[in-house]
Amino acid sequence: MKTYGHIIIGCGASGLSLAYHLSNAGFPGGSILLIDKENKIVNDNSWGYWSRSAQPFDSIAKRSFKKIGTNHPGHQIIYDLKRYKFHVLQRTDFEVFVKNHLAQFKEVDWLTTNIESVKEEKDHVVVQTSKGTFQSDYVFSSIYSEQDIVERSRLFIRQQIKGWIIQTATNSFNPDSMTLFDFNTPQCNQMRYMSVIPENENRATIKFNVFAEKLLEKEEYENSLRNYIQHHLKIKEYTIEAEEWGVIPMTDHYFATRHGNRIIKIGIAGGCTKASSGYSFKRIQRHTQLLAQLLKDGWPPYADANSGPRFRFYDQVLLNIFIKNAGAGAKIFSDLFSRNEPEKVFKFLDEDTLLTEDLKIISSLSSFPFLRSVVTLAGSEVNPLIMVKNAKNKDNNEKSTDNYD
């Protein structure tokens, strides 16, 4: 049985990020084995994040913007981000960069196989695969079961993202600015918006975002994109050069950050997704960097990526609105940016604000949907502190599935 310092299960955003940060920390704990069910680089999505200081993967971002726009019917605003930048990172570029980086280290092994079992022993973890058995001091896993999340959630919807990368026959885009939210699309009793990410004047990624419990039919995503491009962007001639697709679980479920003492959850499985917006990539960087630093400093890699009780409550209020009063969601996000400076909004979404700053932002929004949501939450046993306690008491023998972050 071959022994490693750490085994990472799942080579998506969180698994590769952790391996990258462990390499930069000098591989504390020893060599690493990365296991994934597939060994291929797929260009099926991209990640967006904002920052006002340098982030680990800024250098390979496909685009970085100093201006963003939001559109509500009859109301369009372009914002100067001042100290911030909004970065868009292609999954392909990220995977190629990290894998090339790790290829230079003898401490890194790769294995393409299926996981059969993960079992914690007294002072190590044993991972059984279809290609052999391995052990390590710690296992970091991004595997999660969506069905398990649904069953444990009181509030649950899916953020569905369908994107087309299009090439136009004429100049159609302003490459200096991206559209973060455009609500000029039928809402259909859900929260829906478009995003436009230009590469140049003739090429852009158009994303259709839907917040809903159930997936739409394939034709509805395509028809919505087609109608938006033709009727709102007024583009008649274009070719679809690539497509993107992603589904992000948005839930009030508290994710247990470890099972036992040596099986550590990362990515979506570890609570790195912002429940009310779906943004994950920057939170993944924070979490995996902290895990690597803890190991380097000689501490167990115990770090909670879930939002704290205050921000969990805000997320619950917004999720409840998306589920029960979805039409108000578009107005809330529009007001969030139109009535507050983007820097303050980004700080709020990063959960770096003080309570006094939170109250100023919340007071700038329409109060009725919030009050209604708070009242219904109060009567439905949704309490962030109780949910944390219950989640930590759940059975640690969670089933493995093929969902990798």
What confidence tens digit (pLDDT) does each residue in 257-302 have?
999 999 999 999 999 999 998 899 999 999 999 999 999 999 999 9
Report residue 315 as tokens. 């997320």
Instruction: Calculate what percentage of the chain has a pLDDT beyond 90.
Output: 68
Q: What is the mean pLDDT of residues 165-192?
A: 93
Among residues 249, 276, 301, the one where a domain terminates is 249
In a domain, 242, yes or no: yes
Q: How confident is the model at residue 399 (pLDDT cuts 50, 70, 90)?
A: very low
Mean pLDDT of the region 55-59: 92
Q: Would you say residue 107 has pLDDT above 50? A: yes
- Rounded CA-CA distance 120/263 in Å is 7
Give residue 258's region: left, alpha or beta (phi > 0; psi -120 to 50): beta
Let me know if residue 275 belongs to a domain.
no
Residue 162's CATH number: 3.30.9.10
Residues 156, 25: contact at Cβ < 8 Å?
Answer: no
Report yes or no: 405 and 268 within 8 Å, Cβ to Cβ. Answer: yes
8-state DSSP, 278: -
Distance of CA 29 to the CA centre of its chain: 28
* 159 and 241 both lie in a single domain: yes
Strand partners of residue 70: 77, 181
Reply yes or no on whether the pLDDT at 328 is more than 90: no
- Please state, in angstroms and rounded to a whole number, the distance separating the CA atoms of residues 313 and 320: 11
| Tens-digit pLDDT profile for residues 120-148 | 998 999 999 999 999 999 999 999 888 88
What DSSP character marks residue 58?
A: G
Asked which of 249, 265, 281 is the last residue of a domain, the reply is: 249
So what's the pLDDT on residue 372? 75
Domain assignment of residue 171, yes or no: yes
- 245 shares a domain with 174: yes
Asked whether residue 278 is assigned to any structural domain, the reply reads no
Distance between CA 371 and CA 36 in Å, rounded? 45
In a domain, 170, yes or no: yes
Q: What is the pLDDT of residue 204?
A: 97
Domain end residue (candidates: 218, 249, 280): 249
- Dig out the tokens for 305 from the structure: 């990526």
Q: Which residue has the higher pLDDT, 327 or 108?
A: 108
Residue at 349 is within a domain:
yes
In this model, does residue 395 exceed pLDDT 60?
Answer: no
Q: Which domain holds residue 317?
A: 309-382
How many domains does one find in the chain? 2
Residues 160 and 244 occupy one common structural domain: yes
The answer to whether position 207 is within a domain reads yes
> Does 56 score more than 80 pLDDT?
yes
pLDDT in tens, 6-47: 999 999 999 999 999 999 999 999 999 999 998 766 667 899
Residue 318 in tokens:
């917004």
387: pLDDT confidence band, cut at 50, 70 and 90? Answer: very low
Dist CA 405 CA 47 (whole Å): 12
Beta pairing, strands 132-141 & 263-265: parallel
Closest CA to 51 of 80, 84, 75: 84
**Average pLDDT for the chain:** 89
Is residue 228 domain-resident? yes
Mean pLDDT over 193-207 rounds to 96
Lookup result for tokens 């006002």: 52
Instruction: Average the pLDDT over each of 103-117, 265-279, 362-376 and give the range with the smallest value.
Output: 362-376
From the list 301, 92, 87, 277, the residue with the least C-alpha distance to 193 is 277
Helix pair angle (281-296, 13-24), 10° resolution: 40
Q: What is the pLDDT of residue 75?
A: 80
